[in-house]
Amino acid sequence: MARRLAQGDIVLARFPEHLPSGHEQHGLRPALVVGLPDLLGQPRFPVVLLIPLTTDRRQAWASRSPRLYPTLPAGAGGLPIDSLALLDQTRSLDWERVARYLGTLPAEAYRPIRDGLRALLASQRG
């Protein structure tokens, strides 16, 4: 990928299938860039941290947990349809699995993602 990615970018990425299968997202799908390990140091492998996106069909599970599944409106970051960010599926992928850049979220659309990740990863131990 020629373009340097940044937090808040939307890309198409190839998420591998797991065997045995579970509840992880897989296949070619839009994803949100949330972490670039090379900004902190030299990583062992060239990876990027991504949140997979899925179509927002007003699923009950998403409505019950909007901080865990923030909505991204169609048009934001090049998304063709309303989508949900699956914060509970955040994972690292090899850069080679990033197929192409779609767009960048405006700051106000990225803010609920950032805040949700901070809460999700915050230490609950003293």
User: What's the confidence (pLDDT) of residue 40?
Assistant: 83
Cis peptide before 106 (omega within 30 of 0): no
- The domain defined by 9-121 folds into SH3 type barrels. (2.30.30)
Amino acid 2: pLDDT: 46
Query: So what's the pLDDT on residue 27?
Result: 76
Closest by Cα among 47, 67, 69, 73 to 59? 69
> What is the chain's pLDDT, residue by residue, as a tens digit (126 residues)?
545 899 999 999 998 886 667 667 767 999 999 998 888 888 888 899 999 999 988 889 899 999 999 999 999 999 999 999 999 999 999 999 999 999 999 999 999 999 999 999 886 665
Torsion region of 125: left, alpha or beta (phi above 0 gives left; psi -120 to 50 gives alpha) = beta
User: What span, in angstroms and rounded, lies between the C-alpha atoms of 77 and 102?
Assistant: 7
Whether the pTM exceeds 0.95: the reply is: no
Predicted pLDDT at 22: 65
Q: Residue 65: its pLDDT value, please?
A: 93
Q: Are strands 83-85 and 9-15 parallel, antiparallel or unpaired?
A: unpaired
Long-range contacts, stretch 62-70, CB < 8 angstroms, 24+ apart: 67/112, 67/115, 67/116, 67/119, 68/116, 68/120, 70/112, 70/113, 70/116
Distance of CA 78 to the CA centre of its chain: 14
Give the Cα separation of 4 and 9 in Å (integer): 10
